[in-house]
Amino acid sequence: MKHSTLVSVYLLLASLVGIVGVTVGLGNFAYQYAYLAIISDEEYLAGNTDDWRIAQCEDPSNKAFAQLSVSWSGTVQTPPTPEQIAQCEQEAKELMVNSRHFRAKESAITGAIWGVVFLLLFLSHFPFFIRTRTQ
């Protein structure tokens, strides 16, 4: 059975898209896990010291530990104590690390799924392309 050139071109393009998709998807998967393995949590925190979560810890209007004292002129917020600041910064750092792990794992899962989808695309088209070229 003779296949047309158009079918061969379609199968070739689908195969190329599949192999590129596999490479990108699984490359993203590998990158995310390498990112988590190579850059430690301490290094990540050291590189993100200007994060807004840490900066808000010294803000007296931060609702997490703002103490309100009432005077004749109204409510006045007292600044946080050093202990409160240290606790807030520790909680912010834990949140940053947990957020980093979540984002990396989410990207790795997405990359793996897309890699598998494109692998299926490649495997479902490439054998037919080879058969059309050998006939």
pLDDT tens figures, 7-51: 888 888 888 899 999 999 999 999 998 998 999 988 888 887 667
Give the pair of three-digit tokens for residue 8: 């061969």
Q: Is the pLDDT of residue 68 over 60?
A: no
SS3 assignment, position 1: coil
pLDDT in the model for residue 83: 87
What is the number of domains present in the chain? 1
Could you list the residue range(s) of the whole structural domain that residue 71 is in? Answer: 5-134
Residue with tokens 């392309």: 129
Residue 1 is predicted with a pLDDT of: 47
Task: Look at the block and give the residue holding tokens 């290094």.
Answer: 43
The pLDDT confidence band at residue 82, using thresholds 50, 70 and 90, is confident
Q: How far apart are alpha carbons 81 and 61 in whole angstroms?
A: 13
pTM, 2 dp: 0.69
